[in-house]
């Protein structure tokens, strides 16, 4: 009995001296509620481009091209302008957009003058001052040139948006 008590006491002493902080899980960074308003620099890299109608894709984007860098302003509501994902002069309307708690799923239906319809689907993550997303574009043109394009987008807040020019 005496050995059991001594063994139990030794175990309790060792347990009290141990430091489990190295193995304890660290609290995760809280997910961002929204992007901070301001100017963002966005870098887009083409990951894949393929024809969906067996013709030459009607896109200027090419796999292996240097990253395309643009800047956009994120307004007070934290939304990303669909023009950030557009390849040219497209008119886009949001479909089912979700951007909360560090996750984004954005879908836009767009029209390109003289060509036809496109959809952009962005899936990714964001923090208060940055985001990363995989954007898939699919086309539904009236003529040849339909394609599917996959691009990787990385955006980082670089400051406040430039002031709008004064109206005369």
What is the total count of domains within the chain?
A: 1
- Residue 119 to residue 101: CA distance in whole angstroms: 24
| Phi, psi dihedral angles at 8 (to 5 degrees) | -65, -40
* Residue-level pLDDT, tens digit, the chain, 168 residues: 444 544 444 454 444 554 544 444 344 456 778 899 999 999 999 999 999 999 999 888 899 899 999 999 999 888 888 888 888 778 898 888 888 899 999 999 999 887 889 999 999 999 999 999 999 999 988 889 899 999 999 999 999 998 766 666
Residue 14 within a domain: no
Model pTM? 0.74
In a domain, 77, yes or no: yes
Q: What pLDDT, on the 0 to 100 scale, is given for residue 29?
A: 55
Query: Is 5 part of a structural domain of the chain?
Result: no
Q: Which domain holds residue 46?
A: 38-159
Tell me if 2 is assigned to some domain. Answer: no
Instruction: Tell me, yes or no, whether 121 lies in a domain.
Output: yes
Whether the Cβ atoms of residue 49 and residue 151 lie closer than 8 Å to each other: no
In a domain, 25, yes or no: no
List, as one string, the DSSP characters of the chain.
Answer: -HHHHHHHHHHHHHHHH---TTTSPPPPPPPPSSPPSEEEEEEEEEEEEEESSSS--S-S--TTPPPEEEEEEE-TT-PPPGGGT-SSSEEEEE-S-EEETTEEEEEEEEEETTTEEEEEEEEEEE-SSEEEEEEEEEEEESSS--EEEEEEEEEEEEEPPPPPPPP-
What's the rounded Cα separation, in Å, for the pair 80 and 106? 9
Euclidean distance between CA atoms 47 and 67, whole angstroms? 10
> Is 123 a member of any domain?
yes
Distance of alpha carbon 67 from its chain centroid, rounded?
A: 16
Cα(15)–Cα(120) distance, integer angstroms: 56
Cβ atoms 132, 154 nearer than 8 A: yes
Residue 70 belongs to a domain: yes
């Amino acid at each position: 009995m005496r050995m059991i008590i001594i063994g139990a006491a030794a175990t309790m002493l060792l347990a009290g001296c141990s430091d489990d902080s190295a193995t304890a899980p660290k609290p995760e960074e809280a997910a961002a509620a929204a992007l901070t308003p301001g100017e963002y620099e966005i870098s887009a890299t083409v990951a894949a481009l393929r024809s969906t109608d067996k013709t030459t894709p009607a896109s200027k984007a090419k796999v292996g091209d240097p990253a395309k860098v643009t800047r956009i302003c994120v307004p007070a509501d934290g939304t990303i302008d669909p023009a950030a994902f557009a390849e040219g002069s497209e008119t886009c309307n949001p479909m089912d957009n979700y951007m909360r708690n560090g996750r984004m799923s954005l879908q836009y239906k767009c029209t390109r003058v003289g060509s036809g319809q496109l959809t952009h689907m962005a899936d990714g993550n964001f923090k208060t001052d940055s985001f990363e997303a995989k954007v898939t574009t699919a086309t539904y043109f009236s003529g040849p040139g339909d394609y599917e394009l996959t691009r990787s987008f990385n955006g980082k807040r670089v400051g406040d948006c430039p002031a709008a020019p004064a109206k005369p």
